[in-house]
Structure 1
Amino acid sequence: MKRIIVSVSNDLSTDQRVEKVCNTLHQNNFEILLIGRILKNSLPLNRNYKTKRMSLMFNSGFLFYAEYNLRLFFLILFSKKDILLANDIDTLLPNYIVSKIQRKKIVFDSHELFSEIPELETRPTVKKVWQTLEDRILPKLKNTYTVCDSIAAYFNKKYTTNFKVIKNAPISKKDSATRSSFSFPHKGKKIILYQGSVNIGRGLELMIDTMIFLDNHLFVIIGSGDIYEKLKVYVRDKKLENKVYFLGKLPPNQLKELTPLADIGISLEEDIGLSYRYALPNKIFDYIQAKVPILVSDLPEMKEIVNNYNVGEIVLKRNSESLANQIKIMIGKDYNLALEKAKKELIWENESIKLLTIFNNLK
């Protein structure tokens, strides 16, 4: 049985992609050790494979990345393994060095264009560091995959690599939730849902402003991030506390119960860098699996899903009044047949076949 060490810089509990990858590999006779970190608010883990969460002195900024990468290097260096799986650029360097020192196979999963995320646009020195790592290491990797066609094409053109695509589709699941699962007043209301990271550039301010023009609608935000508290203040200032609800970060099993209760799922990312432009967020697949129609930005990967499967609408104008009118029209449409078809096709069971092909044929 081949041993795989999987590295990720988050706290593991809400990373659905990593969990699906690890479960698939574990179920197909790979021994897994998943390494991440633990925070004060980290949720407990209950996995069928081994996990290790490091408690760090620093949890943000340069010192976090320096400490995490140094400790990760020594941990994987002195652990038994046959294969190293690095998730995103921020775990790649120690994995790459150990793979060279000990001549181990290395696999790289790029969840996004890390060096192009909006948070780095105002931090050119930090951006240059990640870009340099990307430029130096990616051309040398033989076993690589990412989340969508646009990112794969970007890497393959820039570095003459051979990135495969493993979409972040959810595991197929029957819906069993009822609206009583929501703990706030919602009777007779239409629910607009956002789930994911609460960071800049996600279009959340636009959606909050849109609620001014929507009576009988609620906007529910599930997740946490850099602007979470700022958005709460924004909602209070707009006096929209009875229309906008923050549920915080939820474990995947609870999230799967709540998602089907929505009437519309949104993904309104702004075009503020290549990472967002090429984004194909997990939430889009989660909405579809829950048979929730989607309203998405006019960006290539998200637009392609809507156009190919007719499971929702593409934002026509990014202003609150226009968006409110588009939502009202969406509420009156029936997307059930299209969602049922997409739900059967866009599932992890199909993506896992491609994943196993990669790990069973490492170069």
Structure 2
Amino acid sequence: MSTLKVFFRSIRWIPAHLRYGLIYLEIWMRVLVRGLAIRPHLIHCHDTPLLPIAVTIAWLCRGKVIYDAHELESDKNGQTRWMAWCTLAIEKFCWRGVDGFVTVSSSILRWYMERFTHKDSALVYNSPVFNRDPVQDVPEFKGRYFHRKYGISEDQLVFVYLGLLGPGRGIETLLKVFTSQEVRAHVVFIGRGSLRETIVNHAVQNGRVHLHDVVPHEQVVPLVRTADYGFCMVECVSLSDYYSLPNKLFEYAFAGVPVLASNFPDIQELVERFQLGLCAVNEVDAIAHAVIRLQREGRQRMTSDIESLGWKAQAERLLAMYQRLTPTNGNVYNVK
């Protein structure tokens, strides 16, 4: 797999809307030329704007297309109405040329199957590789790392928030929760985003709020493992968020850290089925009540068998679809 260097991205003097159009046209032509050179039997398309290109190449090469929707693409956080309409229009226009469909939650899969016609489909979670071997641990993160780093007493719990520090992630709500006098636990935020400065300001005023530097992806699970609980509180700012199964939910699980998560349908179903933790309404009082309850119960570790959630199991589902669509094991062209 290689990355295209797009010429028009570097031309800043062209007006933004025109430049974006030229960028899209350049990508369209270059992906088309490369696709025709490869003549793939199967195209795995990860991005809605590139779906028309994927369908075109498949038609010209008599190949097949898998459309991989990592979210409910036409109804997601931060999307304008115009972009939502364009996304839905592209999906409707190209759907006839799609042979297989992949997505990340049961509700999103059901939404697409009900909105459009049925396709050969697969549910593939956005989960990391599951490895029971503690050799992957980072020496610096051994034991009660967060307690040592922030001078937290052993009898106080540490909750960790992992992911984008932006609107729609419940961060402002969590900051309010940890101002409560009844909440004696600490919270550590790990990530990048527009609310970093807000968290820094709260940390200055509240000794139970902390901001940790971002770590490389391979160190995320070893780092999170040193916390007591993880937060996966998502706001219902879009249908995609409501139906989501965030990556962090799986990262907490593989770290052996119980989660306090939103009571959205797919999240709650997974949390309850695999005993990953506790769900609550995404409101200050409800979350504070849950945190206080966990303070009484103390530190816990997960003991459930979650091997079926790991990437190995997800990859098997994906490979099974590849084999159904291309039984002769032909060329696969990833477009994203």
In the superposition, the TM-score normalised over structure 1's length comes to: 0.75
Alpha-carbon deviation of 1:108? 1.5
**Relative CO higher for 1 or 2, CA cutoff 8 Å, sep ≥ 6?**
2
* Structure with max Cα Rg: 2
Partner of 2:31: 76
Q: Rate the CA distance shift 1:352–1:305 in 2: closer, same or farther, 3 A.
A: same
Partner of 2:89: 132
**1:184-333 → structure 2 map (5 Å cutoff):** 184-188=149-153, 189-213=156-180, 216-225=184-193, 227-229=194-196, 232-233=197-198, 235-236=200-201, 239-240=204-205, 242-247=207-212, 249-316=214-281, 318-331=282-295, 332=297
1:178 aligns with 2:142: yes
Alpha-carbon deviation of 1:238? 7.8
The C-alpha deviation readout for 1:106-141, integer Å capped at 9, x for no partner, is 222111012101212xx2222211121122113431
What secondary structure is seen at the aligned counterpart in 1 of 2:186?
A: strand
Identity of aligned residues (%): 21
Q: Rate the CA distance shift 1:70–1:84 in 2: closer, same or farther, 3 A.
A: farther
Gaps of 5+ in 2: 327-336
The C-alpha deviation readout for 1:210-240, integer Å capped at 9, x for no partner, is 1112654332222223x334xx236516854
Alignment check: 8 A CA contact 1:141 1:161 kept:
no
**Aligned-partner Cα distance in 1 for 2:203–2:158:** 19
Partner of 1:22: none
**Aligned-partner Cα distance in 1 for 2:19–2:73:** 16
1:341 to 297, 304, 308: 304
Residue type at the aligned position of 1:160: T
1:164 aligns with 2:122: yes
Partner of 1:14: none
**Aligned-partner Cα distance in 1 for 2:210–2:19:** 32
The C-alpha deviation readout for 1:260-319, integer Å capped at 9, x for no partner, is 112111111112221011101111111111111011111100010122122211114x43
**1:81-100 → structure 2 map (5 Å cutoff):** 81=38, 82=40, 83-100=42-59
Partner of 2:319: 356
**Aligned-partner Cα distance in 1 for 2:221–2:17:** 34
Alpha-carbon deviation of 1:158? 0.8
**Aligned-partner Cα distance in 2 for 1:169–1:103:** 32
Alignment check: 8 A CA contact 2:177 2:183 kept:
no
**1:55-66 → structure 2 map (5 Å cutoff):** 56-57=9-10, 66=21
Partner of 1:155: 112
Residue type at the aligned position of 1:328: I
Q: Rate the CA distance shift 1:187–1:204 in 2: closer, same or farther, 3 A.
A: same
**Aligned-partner Cα distance in 2 for 1:204–1:158:** 32
Residue type at the aligned position of 1:314: C
**Aligned-partner Cα distance in 1 for 2:66–2:305:** 29
The C-alpha deviation readout for 1:37-65, integer Å capped at 9, x for no partner, is xxxxxxxxxxxxxxx56583389x86675
Alpha-carbon deviation of 1:164? 1.6
Residue type at the aligned position of 1:261: T
Alpha-carbon deviation of 1:168? 1.9
Alpha-carbon deviation of 1:249? 4.5
In the superposition, the TM-score normalised over structure 2's length comes to: 0.80
Partner of 1:41: none
What secondary structure is seen at the aligned counterpart in 1 of 2:150?
A: coil
Alignment check: 8 A CA contact 1:69 1:93 kept:
no
Alignment check: 8 A CA contact 2:144 2:227 kept:
no
The C-alpha deviation readout for 1:50-101, integer Å capped at 9, x for no partner, is xx56583389x86675455333323322324323222132432333333334
Decide which moves more: 237-246 or 168-177: 237-246
Gaps of 5+ in 1: 1-32, 36-51
Alignment check: 8 A CA contact 1:194 1:266 kept:
yes
Aligned length: 306
Decide which moves more: 281-290 or 205-214: 205-214
